[in-house]
A and B are shown apart, each in its own frame.
Chain A
Amino acid sequence: MVPLSEYATVRVGSTLYEAILALEQVQKEFDQAKYKHRGMLILNDEGRVIGKLNHLDALQALEPETEDDVETTLFYYGFSKDFVRDISRRRRMEGAPLVNLRQKAVTLKVEDLMRHTEVDECIDYQAGLDMAIHQLTREKLRSLLVVRDGNIIGILRLADVFAAVYHTMTGVPAQRGKHEGS
């Protein structure tokens, strides 16, 4: 588990630009061999975790809005995958979607982009490995939020669980930080 204190966090009201900077900062501050941070947690004013934002969420937010809308719409109305792909490719070639990235990032608020934490992605700090595996696979998650007395105290990542499985199977004792997160 990665303790909450070592995980990237930002407060509600932060912009996407600030969140990206915070994520980059935390990458620098912590031992690269130990963690690769691919996401961050969003805290409310009382410091409680209320949502998550990962790299994919951030990239999706920076996509030109119309592209996503158009693809979804075309699929909804029964256009073929080939047609939609072709339209998307042509529009990207015609446009310049990655200009003004910073300008866009400063206008987006993390609370509008984050995914709210769900009960199914929380696990009690005393739960066993089998429970963690079950929750990750059932919900197809990349990490679980570890909860003690109703408060999130850390993140249990897929890689942590996979490493634990490896050590259980082989009997090799675990060395914290040898396995990079996913």
Chain B
Amino acid sequence: MKVLEQLFERIAQRVTINLREFHFNVHPYVEHLVPFEKLSNFYGFYGVTSQHPLDFKFLHSNLAGSYFLGKCRITNSIVYKSDVRGDELKKKGTVFESQGFQIFLTRDEGIRIEDSFLIKTLVHNHSHDPEHPERFPICNTIACRYCNIHGSPMDGSFLEPFATVDLTTMNDCVVGAFSYIQAGEVNHLRIAPGTIWVKSPGHFNFLYQYPKDSLRRYVQFVPGFPAEGLLMDFVHERKEDFQRVFATVNGEAGIPVPGNASVDRYAVIKPKTSISDNVLVAQRAFLENSRLGKGANAQENCYIINSNLAGYDVTAHGAKIVEVDMGEMVFVGFNSFLRGRPDARLAIGRDSIIMPHTIIDSDQPLHIPAGSLVWGLITGSDDLAKNSISLEELRAIQGGFSRGRLFFEGSGSDFVDAFCVRIQHILEANGAFYDGNSGLGHAQKNQNISFNTIQPYSEGALKGMFPTIDILP
């Protein structure tokens, strides 16, 4: 255990050094977040599939409860109950288009996690940094529970619980709890909790910040204590279901799954759930008494309960959907929390975009008209009026506007187009449009994954450390 303790200390020190300009010491935030004993209790596992490169190197690290797919190199790191999913990494011989450049790839892209501590974090997509097209590095970084590092190379950063960094190169930043950042490249920023920031230089800048007092009810993170709030309670209440799934050697969905759909064996599927064609359900997704229509997907750490998704709906990583009726082609962004009530359901019209990290928590029935953009905290119809706009109206905006706590500068049509293109890409990548011949995506490719487990030392100074392993075809 001694080696593991030293490893933790070194990672904490490195992150603190990177954040010294903010006088930010990570120790009080992370010291007791994960008891060392737990780090030696769980196995790590990796996927074997003919669809993705098999190229793993695990060196001087702890991988407790984590899943790896694709090409990953983990060095001097603690990766706890995280998903490092390399099924969208760029491949050798392809051309990566970025900022007008056509970049030819000379080798397969790989995820490299070095000197970092990730707790229940999702790592997915590919690096969007044109300077390092074949490397997706996460170095000197700590990500707390339920963070998403999505296509975002990062160095020297600290992500508080439920933070998402999306398609952004990040250096030396502190990202507050429940913040969502998609800004291309950011350096040396301290981002307040509950900041939703989407910036495309020269095109648009979208900023919403949650009222501090209201956010505390949902997520609160203070030094010396684990994250608290309604979102943590929500996932804790369903923790045992996942423990059962991970304890089973050969898991089955227990419901009919069409041949062109994929339900991961590490997802929780509870009764009266139905899965249609081309549906993708990722590991650590939780479905209960819900219907997923054709081409819908549920990504990692999603919860869909007592809800109906009409089809081609995207439920991004970490989103929670309870008592919701959703039209077709609705996008629910990362870590959103949409909670209706049995007697006050939430209806979302087709082609709507629920911005990442949106909270809709209403005990009155709410109806979101088709083609809406929705953001921020909504607890009733007054909030909905302040925190939404029709996509048509937004498209017409040039220059900017503000509404409630939202500030938007730039071209509304560029913003809408960027989201529409991305949603289309997600659906295509997930195989939502597969017709039996073309349109193959994750829903079809992920059906035949084998899982191998790897174990740490169980005693002695190396307790909790995983042996150095190279895994190749």
A residues engaging B (CB < 8 A)? 73-74, 76-80, 83, 86-87, 90
Contact = CB atoms under 8 A, between A and B. Distances in A.
9 contacts: A73-B207, A73-B209, A74-B207, A78-B199, A79-B409, A80-B409, A83-B400, A83-B409, A90-B402
B199 A77 contact: yes
Interface in B184-214: 189, 195, 197, 199, 201, 205, 207, 209
B407 interface: yes
Interface residues of B, number: 14
Interface in B392-446: 399-400, 402, 407, 409
A90 to B, nearest CB: 8
Nearest to B199: A78
Give me the 9 closest cross-chain CB pairs, A-B, nearest first: A83-B409, A77-B207, A83-B400, A79-B409, A87-B402, A77-B197, A79-B205, A78-B205, A78-B199
Contacts of A79: 205, 207, 407, 409
Contacts of A74: 207, 407
Binding site secondary structure of chain B: strand
A73 B207 CA distance: 10
A74 B195 CA distance: 12
Given A79-B409, A83-B409, A87-B407, 5 more contacts: A74-B407, A76-B189, A78-B201, A79-B407, A87-B402
A87 B405 CA distance: 12
B356 to A, nearest CB: 16
Interface string B364-403: 0000000000000000000000000000000000011010
Interface of B: 183, 189, 195, 197, 199, 201, 205, 207, 209, 399-400, 402, 407, 409
Indicate the member of A77, A80, A86, A87 with the most B CB atoms within 10 Å. Answer: A77
Contacts of B207: 73-74, 77, 79
Contacts of A86: 400
B402 A77 contact: no
A154 B409 CA distance: 50
Contacts of B183: 78
Contacts of B399: 83
A95 to B, nearest CB: 13
A110 to B, nearest CB: 27
Nearest to A80: B409
Contacts of B407: 74, 79, 83, 87
Nearest to A70: B407
A83 B406 CA distance: 13
A73 B196 CA distance: 12
B403 to A, nearest CB: 11
Contacts of B402: 87, 90
Indicate the member of A73, A80, A83, A87 with the most B CB atoms within 10 Å. Answer: A83
Nearest to B405: A70
Nearest to A87: B402
Nearest to B206: A77
A68 B27 CA distance: 33
A73 B208 CA distance: 11
Contacts of A78: 183, 199, 201, 205
A76 B199 CA distance: 12
A86 B199 CA distance: 19
A133 B201 CA distance: 45
A83 B407 CA distance: 9
A56 to B, nearest CB: 27
A79 B199 CA distance: 10
A169 B456 CA distance: 83
Contacts of B199: 77-78
A111 to B, nearest CB: 23
A118 to B, nearest CB: 20
Contacts of B205: 77-79
Contacts of A87: 402, 407
Contacts of A77: 195, 197, 199, 205, 207
A160 B400 CA distance: 49
A76 B205 CA distance: 12
A80 B399 CA distance: 11
Contacts of B201: 78
B415 to A, nearest CB: 14
B346 to A, nearest CB: 30
Nearest to A86: B400
B386 to A, nearest CB: 14
Contacts of B400: 83, 86
Nearest to B402: A87
A88 to B, nearest CB: 10
A28 to B, nearest CB: 44
B199 to A, nearest CB: 6
Contacts of A73: 207, 209
A52 to B, nearest CB: 26
Contacts of B197: 77
Indicate the member of B189, B201, B409 with the most A CB atoms within 10 Å. Answer: B409
Contacts of B189: 76
Contacts of B195: 77
A146 B199 CA distance: 50
Contacts of A83: 399-400, 407, 409
A78 B197 CA distance: 10
A81 to B, nearest CB: 11
A87 B409 CA distance: 10
A67 B161 CA distance: 29
A83 to B, nearest CB: 5
B187 to A, nearest CB: 12
A78 B205 CA distance: 8
B133 to A, nearest CB: 25
